[in-house]
Amino acid sequence: MKRNIYCLISLAMAMFAIGASAQLQVRMDKDSPMRKLQLAEMLVTNFYVDSVDENKLVEDAIRGMLDKLDPHSSYTTPKETKQMNESLQGNFDGIGVQFNMVEDTLLVIQTIAKGPSQKAGIVAGDRIVAVNDTAISGVKMPRDQIMMRLRGPKGTMVKLSVVRREVADTLTFNVKRDKIPVKSLDASYIIRPGVGYIRIGSFGATTYDEFMTAVNKLKAAGMKDLILDLQDNGGGYLQAAVKIANEFLPKDDIIVYANGLKSSRMDYRANGSGKLLDGKVVVLVNEFTASASEIVSGAMQDNDRGMVVGRRTFGKGLVQRPFDMPDGSMIRLTIAHYYTPTGRCIQKPYKKGDQKDYAMELDKRLKHGELMNADSIHFADSLKFYTLRKHRVVYGGGGIMPDYFVPLDTMTYTKYHRQLVAKGMVTDAVLRFIDNNRKSLKRKYTDFSKFEAEYQVPESLIADIRERGEKKDVKPKDDEELKLTLPRLANQVKALVARDIWDMDEYFQIVNETSDIVKKGLETIEKM
């Protein structure tokens, strides 16, 4: 009993250290939940038939508690905590993917631009099931062990076994580890005379500086209006999003506010010092636009500073506060909701403890037709809000509903094209082509404008891709499908060649010309 009392005191002191500024309620009477939990751990440790790892018992208990809450409260071990922050804070040696663990499987959320995995052909949605022939899926392998297998010194090779949707066979990729650059801005260029384009992939520690560097560059090139592309941006640091939104908004405009049952409301307002207070702005979003990027989108829409184009965003509006534990581990606990300036809650509905249903919500949108048809989206009158200056109708209920809806065109890429991409035929062929022709291409195309205007993808390269497909039994169903596939395939190949010769700016300059959302963004800029 004496040991139990000491443990309770130690735990209470640790909690005080974690949140000294908060008023913590710590019950220590005989019927307190804390005492019950402590006694359970003590009984297992002292009387269980086999030996147990006491630290793991406690970690499992913490995870068990958090799993019954919202989808975003989480616990990370000391190693996991360090690794979690690396992609937003600094460089590291690895394979270059951002991922989540879904049902004991490593799901690639996105690849780091020009990182080892992207170059090898790994794409968002891939599930890495084995590393160097050691299974990491379905075996309850701890996250830190998975990371240990993926990480390694620059220049070393790692073999990844990948399961990809629409591909029956397990794919194999040999990835050369490298120093992973932490760069959150994917591209910036003048997309039309007087119109700049900036694509932000995530909100990290360097995002604001990267953004302002791009703004200054584009202004020097004649930018008056801006398309801000936040498609597929899963979020990141709140402060980065707030600082970027601040560049567009007049003094005292609300950017976002947070409010919770046990945390007082906190408003984030513009200070009026922004460099983008004038000019037209369009924000591009889709169903993978989440968290910090929804804050920027909502601030621009509610304050009538810009128009939002695309599809309804993900709907992640829960505020996590990190609590550092003495051993270096961390609990990220949801303490509040984010609200747009008009009072719309960004967070989409969820059932506590039902992680699977929450993860499948985007699939439900697809099945219900929401991604293809705006008429499939129905809002109750209670979810109707009005923008703060022009009093336009906007809707709550989770995520940011765009001002102009752009459907997901499932016919943009034929099934034949999707299979060629999914099985790595396109990437493999382009990588081989670049290896063999890089010097001659650079000699011939000394600048990108010449490449963009004159380069034609060799028929031999397209033929190589088709031959690779045939070897894997990937063929067009008929001549009509082949006819529809070839122009899009050639455009994609041209963009990949440009990426490997120059950078992501050049890649997006090519692919954006065939993007329906970008086209609608340009059309909206012209009409504003």
Q: What pLDDT does 25 receive? A: 66
In order of 107, 113, 119, 238, 423, the CA distances from 165 in angstroms are 12, 22, 19, 33, 10
In angstroms, rounded to a whole number, what is the distance separating the alpha carbons of residues 259 and 476?
A: 54
pLDDT digits (tens, 9 = 90+) for 12-35: 444 444 444 455 666 667 778 888
Helix/strand/coil (H/E/C) assignment for every residue in 52-74: CCHHHHHHHHHHHHHHCCCCCCE
Give the per-residue pLDDT at 265.
Answer: 93
Lowest mean pLDDT of 32-41, 169-178, 213-222, 485-494, name the range: 32-41
pLDDT of residue 108: 83
Among 165, 150, 164, which residue's Cα sits nearest to residue 117? 150
Q: How far apart are CA 46 and CA 151, in angstroms?
A: 37
Please give the backbone phi and psi of residue 152, each rounded to the nearest 5 degrees, phi first.
170, 170
Length in residues, the chain: 528
Strands 393-395 and 127-131: unpaired
Q: Are 340 and 299 in contact (CB under 8 A)?
A: yes
pLDDT number for residue 26: 66
Q: Which amino acid is at 466?
A: R
> Cα separation of 322 and 114, whole Å?
31
The dihedrals phi and psi of 479, each to the nearest 5 degrees, come to -65, -30
Q: Is the pLDDT of residue 223 over 70?
A: yes
Between residues 444 and 101, which one has the greater pLDDT?
Answer: 444
pLDDT recorded at residue 3: 47
Cα(262)–Cα(494) distance, rounded to whole angstroms?
A: 54
Q: Tell me whether residue 59 is exposed, middle or buried, using C-beta atoms within 10 angstroms of its C-beta: 0 to 12, 13 to 18, 19 or more.
A: middle
Q: Which of 98-107, 243-252, 367-376 reaches the highest mean pLDDT? A: 243-252
**10 Å Cβ neighbour count for 157?**
11
Integer Cα distance of 175 and 346 in angstroms: 38
Q: What span, in angstroms and rounded, lies between the C-alpha atoms of 479 and 344? A: 50
pLDDT digits (tens, 9 = 90+) for 460-519: 999 999 999 999 899 999 999 999 999 999 999 999 999 888 888 999 999 999 999 999
Is the pLDDT reported for residue 6 higher than 50? no
Q: Helix, strand or coil for residue 345?
A: strand
Q: What are phi and psi of 100, to 5 degrees?
A: -130, 155
Query: Rg of the Cα trace of the chain?
Result: 25
CA distance 220 to 184: 22
Q: What is the model's pLDDT at position 23?
A: 57
**Closest residue by Cα to residue 197 from 229, 240, 222, 244:** 229
| Top-confidence residue, 327 or 244 | 244
Q: Which range has the top average pLDDT, 143-152, 274-283, 389-398, 466-475?
A: 274-283
Cα end-to-end span (Å), the chain: 72
Residues 472/478/484/490 CA torsion (nearest 10 deg):
40
Q: What angle do CA 12, 319, 268 make, to 5 degrees?
A: 115
List the structure tokens of 58: 């406690």
Higher pLDDT pick, 252 / 502: 252
Residue with the bigger pLDDT between 289 and 431: it is: 289
Beta strands in 77-126 (DSSP E): 92-94, 97-102, 105-111
Averaged pLDDT of the chain: 87
Residue 106 pLDDT greater than 70, yes or no: yes
Distance separating alpha carbons of residues 407 and 232, to the nearest angstrom: 15
Q: Partners of 258 in the beta sheet?
A: 266, 338
The least confident of 35-39, 181-185, 303-307, 466-470 is 181-185
162 in helix, strand or coil? strand
Stretch among 40-49, 84-93, 201-210 having the lowest mean pLDDT: 84-93
Tell me the mean pLDDT in the region 96-116. Answer: 78
DSSP 226: E
341: nearest Cα among 403, 389, 277, 298: 298
Out of 11-15, 70-74, 300-304, 369-373, least confident range: 11-15
41 close to 57: Cβ distance less than 8 angstroms: yes
Residue type, 9: I
State residue 442's pLDDT score.
Answer: 87
Cα(367)–Cα(408) distance, rounded to whole angstroms? 12
pLDDT higher than threshold 60 for residue 114: yes
Burial of 490 (C-beta count, 10 Å sphere; 0-12/13-18/19+): middle
Q: Is 338 helix (H, G, I), strand (E, B) or coil?
A: strand
Name every residue whose Cβ is closer than 8 Å to that of residue 301 and which is 6 or more positions away in sequence: 283, 307, 308, 340, 387, 394, 400, 403
As annotated, the active-site residues are 291, 302, 316
CA angle 71, 107, 368 (to 5 degrees): 65
Q: Is the pLDDT of residue 401 over 70?
A: yes
**What pLDDT does residue 109 have?**
64
At 21 the pLDDT is 46
Predicted confidence band of residue 435 (pLDDT cuts 50, 70, 90): confident
- List helix spans (H) across 201-273: 207-220, 238-246
**Residue indicated by tokens 């050049």:** 506
User: What does the alpha-carbon distance between residue 116 and residue 180 come to, in Å, rounded to a whole number?
Assistant: 8
SS3 245: helix
CA distance 134 to 410: 36
Residue 247's identity, in one-letter code, is E
- Side-chain-side CA neighbours of 343 within 13 Å: the count stands at 7
Question: pTM of the entire structure?
Answer: 0.77
What one-character DSSP code corresponds to residue 236? B
